[in-house]
Amino acid sequence: MSVKDRVIAIIAEQAVLEPSDVTMESTLEDLGIDSLGLVESIFAIEEAFDISVPFNANEPEESDFDISSVATIVAGIEKLISEQAK
Partner 1 sequence: MKRVVITGAGTINALGRDVPATLEAMREGRCGISDLAFRDVERLAIRIGGQVKGYDPAAAFNRQQLALYDRFTQFALIAAREAIAQSGLSLQGELADCSGVVLGTSGGGLTTQDENYRSVYEEGKNRVHPFVVPKLMNNAAASHVSMEFNLCGPTFTVATACASSNHAMGLAFQMVRSGSCSVMITGGSESMLCFGGVKAWEGLRVMSKDACRPFSANRNGMVQGEGAGVYVFEEYEHARARGAEILAEVIGFAMTSDASDIVMPSKQGAARAITGALRDGRIDREEVGYVNAHGTGTAANDKTECAAVADAMGPQADRLMISSTKAMHGHCIGGTGAVELLACIMALRDGVIAPTIGYEEPDPECALDVVPNEAREAEVSVVLSNAFAFGGLNAVLALRKV
Q: Which of 42, 45, 73, 74 binds partner 1 (CB under 8 A)?
A: 42
Shortest distance (Å) from residue 34 CB to partner 1: 10
Interatomic CA distance for residues 47 and 27, integer angstroms: 22
43 binds partner 1 (CB under 8 A): yes
Q: Does 12 bind partner 1 (CB under 8 A)?
A: no
Minimum distance from residue 68 beta carbon to partner 1 (Å): 20
Say how far apart CA 36 and CA 4 lie, in whole Å: 22
Q: How far apart are CA 77 and CA 81, in angstroms?
A: 6
